Amino acid sequence: MPYKDLRAYLDRLEREGEMIHIHREVDPVWEMAAVIRRAGDKAVYCHRIKGSSMPMVGNLFGSPRKIELCLDLERNQLIHEYWRRSLAGIDPIMVDSGPVQERVYTGDAVDLNRLPIPLTHEFDGGRIVDSGLIIARDPELGYNLSIHRLHLKGPQKTGILSGYVQHLSHFMTRAWERGKPLEIAVAIGADPVLYIASQSRMGYGISELQVAGGLRQASVELVRCKTVDLAVPAHAEIVLEGFIPPDEREPEGPYGEYPGYYGSSKASPVVHYTAVTTRENPIYQMILIGKPPTENNYLTLMPKAATVYQIIKECVNEIRDVFITPGSGGTFHAVVSIKKRFEGEPRRAILAALGSRAGLRQIIVVDADIDIRNPVEVEWAVTTRSEFRKDVIFADDMPAGLNPAPMGKAGQKFTTAIGIDATLPLEGEYPKVCDVHQEILKRVDAEWESYLGGEESAPLLERREALGGRRS
């Protein structure tokens, strides 16, 4: 730590046994997505991509272990260290040159069709750049780093989707109000920490590039763009430079989104590209998005959990951990572990989290003895420690984001969120939890190999025969 670039992270995944290599030619149209899905939680390096000279990698964030490797943290450190480092922040630094500009294409040489942009889902409206780190700058608000889908429209044009609550949308509006297009740059394939930082929910005043510096504990190196007034990660694989004009709209989508359903097609802004810069022999990175679990769910999970952690820490004496479930798209469902000090404390945590920018639709608060990453334990806590009449909280008229439930069932963009207090009461009689003797369990666990080895570990029937027993 830190990784200088994507390639250093790929080397780490290789050493950790987290990557598989595909040498058969793979089509970016549908087949690449299927290969990643079949690979399970392994990262995929496809050396031959149909119609392109570039190799393609994917599923680089496709498991909790990969997020730990990306941040170089153990699981028991994850939420606390992520929160501490992201708040600390380290400013990026400018460098004179970087590998990302070893090849520069401008004017008529700009052709996005040369990139192996994937078509992921059967009914997607077109090929989508799903792994672009979009860099924008506002004169007063500074830099923003985020990921938004880019729908390929032609050799020098894409559509772009940015929700109204997202910072990039606000940057667009402010630029257009000044009568100017918004300049952007799109980095594809970079230090993985930049991808995680891009999903942080920081307010204005600290940019995701600073968050990335804090997470990697070293400044992000930036290099000036060739055709727009921006700086981009110097060690990225590919950068697209362009601008978003104020008065141009085209249909964008549909696209299979992170909740596991197709997002609708609608008139959206477009991006015109003025330059493409790359490394020598660049590697194209894609991020599989769709029905959970996908790597996108794990990518967004940690930054969202840190946001919830920070919010609840303000109103709870001892918060232990936060987990955003992959099944919620890494977005809508949080499980929070606390050491409860007074009755009503879980309710304070629920109300604070539901009223935040985190966009939760469901939050469950449990005691510190519950493994919040184990859905069986969480369900056990809810079903045996909650009295729904008093322990369930409803919050109406919350933004729904891309969750289709309120739109499909009620035709609206707002939803009802729910919180469940699944903690034990501090006073009164409550049955003790029953389990095996914990000290003995620790001893057995420490000596487990001895239980499996030697003559005594032979199958039961064989041992009985050796002792003169009979098969029944």
| pLDDT, tens digit, 9 for 90 and up, residues 416-457 | 889 999 999 998 889 988 889 999 999 999 999 998 875 554
> Which pLDDT does position 107 carry in this prediction?
95
> Which pLDDT does position 457 carry in this prediction?
47
Which of 117, 109, 105, 112 has its CA nearest to residue 157? 112
| Spatial contact of 256 and 290, defined as CB atoms under 8 Å apart | yes
Distance between CA atoms of residues 331 and 260, nearest Å:
12
User: Phi/psi zone of residue 269: left (φ > 0), alpha (ψ -120 to 50 degrees), beta?
Assistant: beta
Cis, bond preceding 406 (omega within 30 deg of 0): no
Distance between CA atoms of residues 65 and 343, nearest Å:
35
* Same domain, residue pair 472 and 387: no
**236 within domain boundaries:** no
> Which pLDDT does position 331 carry in this prediction?
84
- Residue 78 in this model has a pLDDT that exceeds 90: no
Q: Which comes out higher in pLDDT, residue 411 or 405?
A: 405
The residues pairing with 132 across neighbouring beta strands, listed in sequence order, are 188
* Same domain, residue pair 351 and 405: yes
* Same domain, residue pair 365 and 456: no
Element (H, E) at 276: strand 266-278
- Residue 458 in this model has a pLDDT that exceeds 70: no
Region 383-400 average pLDDT = 88
* Same domain, residue pair 336 and 358: yes
User: Phi/psi zone of residue 436: left (φ > 0), alpha (ψ -120 to 50 degrees), beta?
Assistant: beta
CB-side neighbour CA atoms (13 Å) of 112: 26
* Same domain, residue pair 418 and 439: no
Using the structure block, give the residue that is written with the tokens 């007034």.
Answer: 229
> Which pLDDT does position 356 carry in this prediction?
78
- Residue 398 in this model has a pLDDT that exceeds 80: no
The residues pairing with 136 across neighbouring beta strands, listed in sequence order, are 144, 184
Highest mean pLDDT among 86-95, 279-288, 441-450: 279-288
**320 within domain boundaries:** yes
Can you say how many angstroms the Cα of residue 62 is from the centroid of all Cα atoms in its chain? Answer: 9
| Spatial contact of 319 and 337, defined as CB atoms under 8 Å apart | yes
- Residue 469 in this model has a pLDDT that exceeds 60: no
User: Phi/psi zone of residue 89: left (φ > 0), alpha (ψ -120 to 50 degrees), beta?
Assistant: left
Question: Among residues of the chain, what percentage have pLDDT more than 90?
Answer: 69
* Same domain, residue pair 411 and 454: no
> Which pLDDT does position 395 carry in this prediction?
84
* Same domain, residue pair 415 and 445: no
| Spatial contact of 133 and 198, defined as CB atoms under 8 Å apart | yes
Question: Pairing relation of β-strands 262-263 and 19-22?
Answer: unpaired
Q: Which comes out higher in pLDDT, residue 472 or 5?
A: 5
Q: Which comes out higher in pLDDT, residue 417 or 102?
A: 102
- Residue 16 in this model has a pLDDT that exceeds 90: yes
Instruction: For residue 412, name the pLDDT band (cuts at 50, 70, 90).
Output: low
- Residue 471 in this model has a pLDDT that exceeds 80: no
Residue 451: give the domain boundaries. 435-472
Using the structure block, give the residue that is written with the tokens 């009164």.
Answer: 428
The residues pairing with 224 across neighbouring beta strands, listed in sequence order, are 231
Instruction: For residue 164, name the pLDDT band (cuts at 50, 70, 90).
Output: low
Last residue of a domain, one of 400, 422, 444: 422
Using the structure block, give the residue that is written with the tokens 């699981």.
Answer: 75
- Residue 462 in this model has a pLDDT that exceeds 60: no
- Residue 93 in this model has a pLDDT that exceeds 90: yes
- Residue 198 in this model has a pLDDT that exceeds 90: yes
* Same domain, residue pair 315 and 349: yes
> Which pLDDT does position 386 carry in this prediction?
93
* Same domain, residue pair 405 and 472: no
Cis, bond preceding 282 (omega within 30 deg of 0): no
CATH at residue 334:
3.40.1670.10
| Spatial contact of 187 and 232, defined as CB atoms under 8 Å apart | yes
Element (H, E) at 412: none
Instruction: For residue 408, name the pLDDT band (cuts at 50, 70, 90).
Output: low
> Which pLDDT does position 455 carry in this prediction?
53
User: Phi/psi zone of residue 290: left (φ > 0), alpha (ψ -120 to 50 degrees), beta?
Assistant: left
* Same domain, residue pair 402 and 449: no
In terms of Cβ atoms closer than 10 Å to its own Cβ (0-12, 13-18, 19+), residue 390 is exposed
The residues pairing with 45 across neighbouring beta strands, listed in sequence order, are 21, 57
Distance between CA atoms of residues 78 and 148, nearest Å:
26
- Residue 199 in this model has a pLDDT that exceeds 70: yes
| Spatial contact of 238 and 278, defined as CB atoms under 8 Å apart | yes
Instruction: For residue 472, name the pLDDT band (cuts at 50, 70, 90).
Output: very low
* Minimum mean pLDDT range among 11-20, 43-52, 221-230, 300-309: 300-309
Assigned token pair, 24: 């058969």
Distance between CA atoms of residues 163 and 261, nearest Å:
17
DSSP state, residue 82: H
> Which pLDDT does position 201 carry in this prediction?
75
- Residue 467 in this model has a pLDDT that exceeds 60: no
Q: Count the Cβ atoms, other than its own, within 10 Å of residue 30.
A: 14
> Which pLDDT does position 399 carry in this prediction?
75
Distance between CA atoms of residues 241 and 221, nearest Å:
18
pLDDT, tens digit, 9 for 90 and up, residues 327-356: 888 888 999 999 999 999 999 999 998 887
Percent of the chain as helix, strand, coil, to the nearest 5: 35, 25, 40
Distance between CA atoms of residues 400 and 359, nearest Å:
8
pLDDT, tens digit, 9 for 90 and up, residues 236-275: 999 999 999 999 999 999 999 888 888 888 899 999 999 9
**104 within domain boundaries:** no
The residues pairing with 418 across neighbouring beta strands, listed in sequence order, are 362, 394
In terms of Cβ atoms closer than 10 Å to its own Cβ (0-12, 13-18, 19+), residue 37 is middle
Total domain count, the chain: 2
Assigned token pair, 437: 């003797």
> Which pLDDT does position 271 carry in this prediction?
97
Region 275-284 average pLDDT = 98
* Minimum mean pLDDT range among 182-186, 202-206, 305-309, 428-432: 202-206
At 321, is the secondary structure helix, strand, or coil?
strand
Distance between CA atoms of residues 363 and 43, nearest Å:
30
**398 within domain boundaries:** yes
**172 within domain boundaries:** no
- Residue 117 in this model has a pLDDT that exceeds 50: yes
* Same domain, residue pair 349 and 452: no
Question: Among residues of the chain, what percentage have pLDDT more than 70?
Answer: 93
What's the whole-model pTM score?
A: 0.85
User: Phi/psi zone of residue 189: left (φ > 0), alpha (ψ -120 to 50 degrees), beta?
Assistant: left
pLDDT, mean over the chain: 90
At 283, is the secondary structure helix, strand, or coil?
coil
> Which pLDDT does position 165 carry in this prediction?
67
Distance between CA atoms of residues 420 and 362, nearest Å:
8
pLDDT, tens digit, 9 for 90 and up, residues 57-73: 999 999 999 999 999 98
Region 459-464 average pLDDT = 51
The residues pairing with 73 across neighbouring beta strands, listed in sequence order, are none
Region 157-182 average pLDDT = 90
* Same domain, residue pair 351 and 330: yes
Instruction: For residue 415, name the pLDDT band (cuts at 50, 70, 90).
Output: confident
